[in-house]
Amino acid sequence: MDRDRLFTYATKSAATMALDLAELQDSKSCFSESQVTSPQLCTVTEKRACRIFERLHVWNEFLCHLRLELREQSPRELWLVALDYLGWDAHTEQQRHQAANLVYWLLKNHRCVVGLQLKSWFDFREYEHLLVGALCSSSGLKSMKLRSSHFESRLLLREIAPAIPYLTALEELECGVMEQLHGIIGPLCSLVASSSSLRSLCLRDCKFNALDSKLFSDALSTSSVNALFINSSCLMPVTGDYNVGFAYYLENSSTLTTLVVVSSAYGRFRELKSVVGALGNNRTLLNVCLESFIVDYEAAKSIEKFLVNNSVIRSFSVKHCQWYEEGYGLWGARYDTDDFGVLSERIRPWLSILRNNRSLEELRLELSAFSPAECLEFFKELGESPNLKKVTIEDLYLYFSRRGRRVCNDASGEEREASCSDRPDVVLLGCKQLCKIRVSFHNASDMLWFTLALKALPLCQHVTIVEIDFNHRSIDERVASVAAEYIEKTKVLKCLTLSFVMPMGASRYSWFRVQDVAPNWTLSQCQCYKVHVENAGARQRGIPFAGEYGEIQQNDMQSSRSRNDRKY
């Protein structure tokens, strides 16, 4: 369906609905009985916000029937955001009609609505033509994020594909669906190749076959994308041979500054070496992140070669990777150092990077595959590195982290960013740049740390995002009350994530009290996960729980004037 026919179809459908719903004269919110009028004109200026800002909570009382919410993400700019889960599904057809009508006018006419985030396409059943028609004629939309469950992915891609080439003002596009790009690759390539405004493109979960990867590589060669988040199947397709065209783009792009590559086949050897090798002599990349690969000796040597010879890159991350040793004789080779005894060959590439790269400011990797002596050698070399400002180490025992930090500080003569501390409250209050923190309770010995951190957090006005992880079978009222007291007292918290791992049949008293979240009116997003230890894999997939808290969720949602995003 071409643009004119699609727009005509959407306009006629909207006109039919407008006979009863456009002005919404007789409609009332089912929460506060407030009324709204159809937002046909945008009044935003350089100095004044649009008039719909004055009653956002009323607009959201209508939009929640499609599980959407208007949020002010930046001054005078709004995002239309999908709510995760409301725990309440008593929407009438008339309420959904009204919400769909509002979405159409907001996207079509309002320049102040600059972002759209969609998660569940089924919420738009019977109203797809309105949404797609509004997108085709939208001139203010700068960012669009499509996130969907696996079984909805193909439907979402098929329905929204016709609108993608016409999003000429789009600066950021994220397609977070786990699906091959069958129905969207043509429109997507058309947008990427022709858009002069698109700066960030995220396709990290999308799988490429040989034909799709070739078409996409050709489109990228004429694009002006600065940040690319991609799946490794674009370089090494699910079906087909190595994509020379994409490798050529990575090495020769003059605009790409940020690259994130996620492995498409966890467990496939040589994949990381191929990805790093494709970067070649690129001299524009400032930030590189590699996720979920296998790091063997050859891959580590490729990373060493790339970083040692690169004088531009500022940040390099190796995240959630599997460090493989078996079958590689070089990993067993050892050499001696004066201070730390016997070290294996596997640490040599990383020490070489610290010694020889003079541009790197941020580094992230895991040290779990290395011995204590190798970890301490790494920290010693880190202390002598003149440029590194931030180092993130994953999966490292607390003892070695503390000792390594002392070695690092002793060698450099200055205090570096603390990886841990005996007094987390001191670190929290002293670091004014920190905005996000994760507090974990894994065993009984963590109680002191857990308590100190949560008691200090209400005093930290700069911390607005908190994740609390109850990863222990014997959580009791004392642990729950410490967390509940923090949530009730904090006045600046915007996003809260709670996760639980509990034994089957856990009694109600040992659970964190969800109703303690309700008194906090600053929260704009709350996520809560409950997973039994017998099904711990579900936690990685983000499966929410309901059940015994269904009534609490419903009452909490209905009593919230701000229509907060609460995910259970």
Check if 265-420 and 424-559 are the same fold: yes
pLDDT in tens, 23-49: 555 666 666 667 676 666 787 887 888
pLDDT in tens, 396-411: 444 444 455 555 555 5
Tell me, what's the pLDDT at 377? 84
Tell me, what's the pLDDT at 483? 78
CATH class of 265-420: alpha beta
pLDDT of 9 above 60: no
Q: What is the dihedral of CA 419, 474, 451, 566, to 10 degrees?
A: 90
- Between 182 and 21, whose confidence is greater? 182
pLDDT of 471 above 80: no
- Across 15-24, 309-318, 421-430, which has the greatest mean pLDDT? 309-318
pLDDT in tens, 35-91: 676 666 787 887 888 888 887 888 888 888 888 888 888 888 899 988 765 544 556
Tokens of 491: 């006045």
Confidence of residue 562 (pLDDT cuts 50, 70, 90): very low
In degrees and rounded to multiples of 5, residue 265 shows phi and psi of -140, 85
Domain ranges of the chain: 265-420, 424-559
What pTM did the predictor assign? 0.69
pLDDT in tens, 133-187: 888 888 789 999 987 655 565 666 677 888 888 888 899 999 877 667 667 888 8
* Residue range 463-488: mean pLDDT, rounded: 71
Instruction: Please give the CATH architecture assigned to the domain spanning 424-559.
Output: Alpha-Beta Horseshoe (3.80)
Confidence of residue 390 (pLDDT cuts 50, 70, 90): confident
DSSP string, 103-150: HHHHHHH-TTEEEEEE--GGGGTT-HHHHHHHHHH-SS--EEEEE--H
pLDDT in tens, 420-451: 334 454 455 555 545 666 666 666 666 776 77
Tell me, what's the pLDDT at 339? 42
Beta bridge partners of 227: 200, 258
Mean pLDDT of the chain: 71
Q: Which of 308, 363, 371 is nearest to 334 (CA)?
A: 371
pLDDT in tens, 328-377: 344 444 444 444 456 778 888 999 999 999 899 999 888 777 777 787 88
Q: Which residue has the tokens 């700019």?
A: 77
